[in-house]
Chains A and B, each alone.
Chain A
Amino acid sequence: MKNKTYMCILRSDTGGCEKPSPSEMELQYAKYQAWQQKFASNILDMGNKLGAAGSVVRHESVNDGPFIELKEIIGGYMTLTAKTLDEAITVIQASPMVASEGTSIEIREICTP
């Protein structure tokens, strides 16, 4: 069976949580590294962060940021390869990203004809 590609969209709470200390960041970084090593064959692209400012363009209007009405904003994205959605879920569940409260990751297959 051919692998599928999944887009993972990271959303996080806009509410300010306490800033992590350097030691906590060290720990977090180590967790990322361990996770990346473990799932190296699944991770296609670690993606990027998205800036906080932006615009929404519609048929007749351009609005600054759609984010005001949303509790959670899209903070970043990454792509995975996996045989099934379940496998992709396993990879994401093991990631340090979902360990923090107020963060959710939406996994969607990138469809190709």
Chain B
Amino acid sequence: MNQQVQVEHVFRHEYGKLVALLLRRIGVQHLDAIEDAVQWAMAQALDFWCKDNIPSSPSAWLYQVAHRHLLSEFKATQRRSILLTEHSYIAQNEVIELEEAPFAGEMSDSMLRMLFVACSDAIPIESQLVFTLKSLCGFSIREIALRLFITQANVYKRFSRAKQQLKNQTLELDMLPDDEMVARLPSVHRVLYLLFTEGYLSSHTDTAIRRDLCEEAIRLTKLLGASKFGDVPNSYALLALMYFHLAKINTRQDSYGSLLLLEQQDRRRWNKQQITVAMGFLAQSATGNTISRYHIEAGIAAEHCLSPSFEQTPWEKIVASYELLHSIAPSPLHYLNHAIATAQWKSPEAGLAVLNSIDIPDWLDRSYHWYAVQADLLFRSGETIQGQAYAILAIAAAPTDSIKQLLSKRLKVR
């Protein structure tokens, strides 16, 4: 049984490490060949591990097989002579390298470097996200499409764009200078945050699918926090934020898979251990003299996690946090949450006043969030007819059935 536990996610997690390590040693321009080789090594593992049991170091085994495959592929191509001279050292040192102990450290280091290389300003964030999911987290195009609610063709397009850019810049993993690593840190945080929210906010009915995006984000963020460049307060704030939300993830749906609002969630089922972990990270993030959106968002999540009931939530503090958030990272979505918190703290009319005080960008104007909050606050202020109109718009704009159901229930539209 132990072995089964050990093997859980070995394939997917090793995938990213191996791809990163091989990219570092052989070159970013060979990304396709490297991904094929890692895939091939895993297919071999599937056959051999069943027969001889899992090797003592699955990483080293997979690396060896992938590497050998890659070299034989290279030999088979015309580029043979060039590559062999460039990489003859690998062939010679192959066996010795495999027996070296600091292997694991080098792997995670390569993975982080790959993340930084991918988080280039030249690559749109959607492509950064897809690249991270594919090459670092080991999800297939189909699995990514399922998780991001986009078509496979679209995933492929985003992935190719990132790949093309990486090949063009021919930037080797070790060539990113230290100051550039530091400069890219905010982009790395941003993509990890997006990875997490894609999972957490997803209306996917399969909790396991949402959870594994969240867990991937946490895994990579922890790796980041443990590294030379990522050991900064913002990384810990991000981890705190992730753990506070993760603690609540199981209660976001009822037993029929319908989404539940915060006030309907069973707080006794929130994961106390994860909340404790989150508090630890929050404390760790409270050093230095800068405050990031992650700090504030983690703070807001903490208030929710720590209050014994929806009614006892310290709304005044939450409103103040949203105001602070506006000044650091203005976003129309924050205004919505600000309006909701204000409605709880003061009155639905005060919430509406917050909503009406801002210019709404087009994309948000058309989103169901906006209509739904409008409808809810209007109903609660007694403006039934207007509320009804917004409720219908909200339901029409909702992207999935489970959200439509949630809205119908909440907004009492028949």
- A: which residues have CB within 8 A of B? 19-26, 28-30, 32-33, 36, 46-49, 76
Nearest CB of chain B from residue A93's CB, rounded to whole Å: 18
> Which residue in chain A gives the minimum CB-CB distance to B10?
A26
Count how many chain B residues have C-beta atoms less than 8 Å from C-beta atoms of the other chain: 24
Docked Cα-Cα span, A24 to B42, in Å, equals 11
Across the interface, do B43 and A47 meet the contact criterion of CB distance under 8 Å? no
In the assembled complex, the CB of A7 is this many whole angstroms from the nearest CB of chain B, namely 16
Complex CA–CA separation, A49 to B45 (angstroms): 12
Contacts of A24 in B (CB 8 A): 140
Chain A residues in 8 Å Cβ range of B47: 49, 76
B12 at the interface (CB under 8 A from A): yes
Known A-B contacts A21-B140, A26-B7; A36 and B50 likewise in contact (beta carbons under 8 Å): yes
Residues of B near any A CB (own CB < 8 A): 3-4, 7-12, 14-15, 39, 42-43, 45-47, 49-51, 138-140, 142-143
Beyond known contacts A22-B12, A29-B45, A36-B50: 11 more, CB 8 A cutoff: A19-B43, A21-B142, A23-B11, A26-B9, A26-B12, A28-B46, A32-B50, A33-B3, A46-B50, A46-B51, A76-B47
Contact across chains for B51 and A22 when beta carbons are under 8 A apart: no
Contact B7 A22 (CB under 8 A): no
Q: How far is the CA of A62 from the CA of B143 in the complex (A)?
A: 46
Please pick, from A19, A23, A48, A49, the residue contacting B138 in the complex, using a CB distance under 8 A: A23
Q: State whether B39 touches A29 (Cβ < 8 A).
A: no
Shortest Cβ distance from A34 into B: residue? B4
**Least Cβ–Cβ distance between A77 and chain B, in angstroms:** 12
Q: Is the interface of A mostly helix, strand, loop or mixed?
A: helix
Write the chain A residue with the least CB distance to B47: A49
Question: Contact at A25–B43, with CB atoms within 8 Å?
Answer: yes
Q: Is the CB of B7 within 8 A of A21?
A: no
User: Cβ of B43 and Cβ of A20 under 8 Å apart?
Assistant: yes
For residue B15, which residues in chain A have a CB less than 8 angstroms away from its CB? 22
Contact between chains at A29 and B142 (CB < 8 Å): no
C-alpha spacing A29/B39, complex, angstroms: 14
B4 touching A30, Cβ below 8 Å: yes
CB distance from A17 to the nearest CB of B (A): 12
- Alpha-carbon separation in the docked complex, A26 to B9 (Å): 7
